[in-house]
Amino acid sequence: MVIGGGPAGENVAARAVRGGLTAAVVDSRLLGGECSYWACIPSKALLRPVELAAEVGRVPGLTIGPIEAGKVLARRDEAVAHYDDSGQVRWLDGVPATFLRGAGRLDGPRRVRVTAPDGSERTVTARHAVVLATGSTAAVPPVPGLREANPWTSHEVTAATSVPERLAVIGGGVVACEMAQAMHGLGARQTTMLVRGDRLLPRMEPFAGELLAASFADAGIDVRFGTGAVAVERPEAGAKVTIRLPDGPPLEADELLVATGRKPATSHVGLDTVGLEPGRYVEVDDSMRATGVEGGWLYAVGDANGRNLLTHMGKYQARVCGDVIAARAKGEPDDLPALRDTADDRGAPQVVFTDPQICSVGRTEAAARDAGFRIRTVEYDLGSVSGAYLLGDGYRGRAKAVVDEDRRVLLGVTFAGPGVAELLHAATIAVTGEVPLERLWHAVPSFPTVSEIWLRLLETYGL
């Protein structure tokens, strides 16, 4: 029994069925989850034309007219299937698994109470396991007047039906960067980012945020560091927003986006009925089983367990989880390597779809040092790789690899630059596979591709 039908929940059900069990998924909104309708898919649909326009602008001889925001918003609507989940429901039927539309809530061991949209209730008892896959929601900080001002969160900005003239953004993380760039590229005349710290994307290598900030400055996005909202005023819905800052004049905007992180969607799922604290991430072991629940029947995957708030990592956890549940149900060995999550704590692969793209896998230099590794780092200017130069004039980018000096394998890799997202999986294989540098040296990148960065990094290292 799976509560929450986002990418993680759907995949647990599919794997459990593949393993010979039956499965039911309950979702209170749309099957497909936040990712399909209000996160990954719409945000990337909005960003794609902005990225493409930037790419075209770097190639002499090509010009691109202004982006028609209306058509981009219409394509976004297509990408989210006009907020209709019948395609996903058909997919789940074909798994085959049962879909229950309604709100799920734990009601003691292996029991889930489902409240349907018409208010009717039923209780389902799972034979083997219950999986929490309820995701996360935007966290809104307790700034005076902020909630009352009804700001946009990721939910509203990805579903925007028009582009505000003046957009203010609180936050400097992934959602803030991607959506500031999307709205600015789609026509916002004044986009201002209020960033608490001293850089964008603080969890990434510092050069990534620096390159992004330079690109935003060139594009006319006003990024202000070391500041934030101390109070917010909006007299009525639809009116302009006034954001009071720690110093200087207040900022006025037509819309305000709050992108200051997430909180787990676990406050309403009956955690208290099984001895866990509502509203917290559900702590799990590497088989995705909730620790601290007697009987071992409760699991949590995806954003709900807080390991890595990324769709592909939630789906990976879901594959582990569905397979583990099936193995345990059948009394089969449940400790095989494929039945354990070994990817999450090494540093998940992630792509930030801005211009430049920022992507990384494994540990940053700081994280590797904190973990006690004896490391050496190498960096290289991506713009001086022939393949990158050929992509367009003024290509700016950088790559960095973190090497474990004791084992001579890569602990982490970061790329920043236009078109680097597709380089990431090679890095993921090298880091996850712990490919020795001496072996990696024989993986010859094609000329003239951006992948030649691999050769340059290894040469810089000394190979």
Ligand X SMILES: Cc1cc2nc3c(=O)[nH]c(=O)nc-3n(C[C@H](O)[C@H](O)[C@H](O)COP(=O)(O)OP(=O)(O)OC[C@H]3O[C@@H](n4cnc5c(N)ncnc54)[C@H](O)[C@@H]3O)c2cc1C
Ligand Y SMILES: NC(=O)c1ccc[n+]([C@@H]2O[C@H](COP(=O)([O-])OP(=O)(O)OC[C@H]3O[C@@H](n4cnc5c(N)ncnc54)[C@H](O)[C@@H]3O)[C@@H](O)[C@H]2O)c1
Residue 6 site contact among ligand X, ligand Y, none (CB < 5 to 8 Å, cut-off depends on kind): ligand X
Q: Mapping DSSP to helix (H, G, I), strand (E, B) and coil, where does residue 355 land?
A: coil
CB under 5 to 8 A by kind: which of ligand X, ligand Y, none does 133 bind?
A: ligand X
- When asked if residue 362 is in the footprint of ligand Y (CB under 6 A), the reply is no
Should residue 202 be labelled a site residue for ligand Y when binding is judged by CB under 6 A? yes
Is there a binding annotation on residue 71? no
Q: Which of residues 378-437 bind ligand Y (CB under 6 A)?
A: none
43 near ligand X, rule: CB under 6 A: yes
> To the nearest whole angstrom, how small is the minimum distance from the Cβ of residue 35 to ligand X?
3
165-224 positions binding ligand X, by CB under 6 A: 175
Our finding on whether 100 is near ligand X (CB under 6 A) is: no
Q: Known binder of ligand: residue 89?
A: no
Binding mask 376-415 for ligand X (x = CB under 6 A): ----------------------------------------
173 annotated as belonging to a binding site for a ligand: yes
Regarding 428 and contact with ligand X (CB under 6 A), the answer is: no
Q: How far is CA 273 from CA 268, 270, 285, in A?
A: 11, 5, 20
For 227, phi then psi, to 5°, come to -145, 180
Task: Retrieve residue 210's tokens.
Answer: 């620096």
* Residue 184 near residue 53, CB atoms below 8 Å: no
Binding mask 181-200 for ligand Y (x = CB under 6 A): ---------------xx---
Judged by beta carbon, residue 28 or residue 242, the one nearer ligand X is 28
Token look-up 């900005």 returns 157
Q: Provide CB contacts within 8 A for 377, sequence distance 6+.
A: 365, 400, 401, 402, 403
- 298-300 and 130-132 strand pairing: parallel
6 or 164: CB nearest ligand X: 6
In the region spanning residues 125 to 144, those forming contacts with ligand Y, defined by CB under 6 A, are 141
Other Cβ atoms closer than 10 A to 10:
31
- Asked whether position 206 contacts ligand Y by CB under 6 A, the answer is no
| Binding residue (CB under 6 A) for ligand X from 17, 22, 29, 378 | 29
Cβ atoms of 451 and 415 within 8 Å: the answer is no
Q: Among 352, 361, 382, 427, which residue sits at the site for ligand Y (rule: CB under 6 A)?
A: 352
The letter for the amino acid at 60 is: P
- Locate 21 and state its tokens: 């069990």
Can residue 7 be called a binding residue for ligand X (CB under 6 A)? yes
Tokens of 182: 């999307």
170 touches which of ligand Y, ligand X, none (CB within 5 to 8 A by kind)?
ligand Y
| CA atoms within a 13 Å half-sphere pointing along the CA-CB vector of 3 | 30
> DSSP labels for 254-315?
SEEEE-S-EEES-TTS-GGGGT--TTS---B-TTSBBTT-TTS-EEE-GGGGTS---HHHHH
Least distance to ligand X from the beta carbon of 358, Å?
12
Q: Which does 197 bind (CB under 5 to 8 A by kind): ligand Y, ligand X, none?
A: ligand Y
**Complete DSSP assignment for 387-431:** HHHHH-TT---EEEEEEETTTTEEEEEEEEETT-GGGHHHHHHHH
Residue 317: strand, helix, or coil: helix
Q: What's the gap between Cα 444 and its chain centre?
A: 31
Q: Is 317 in the site for ligand Y (CB under 6 A)?
A: no
What is the x/- site pattern for ligand Y, positions 259-298, by CB under 6 A?
Answer: xxxx------------------------------------
Number of residues that bind ligand X (CB under 6 A): 38
Helix (H) or strand (E) holding 150: none
Instruction: Give the footprint of ligand X on this chain (CB under 6 A).
Output: 3-9, 26-29, 33-35, 39-40, 43-44, 103-104, 133-136, 154, 158, 175, 265, 268-269, 302-304, 309-312, 314
Annotated binding-site residue numbers for NAD(+): 171-178, 261
Instruction: Give the footprint of ligand Y on this chain (CB under 6 A).
Output: 141, 170-176, 178, 196-197, 202, 228, 259-262, 309-310, 350-353
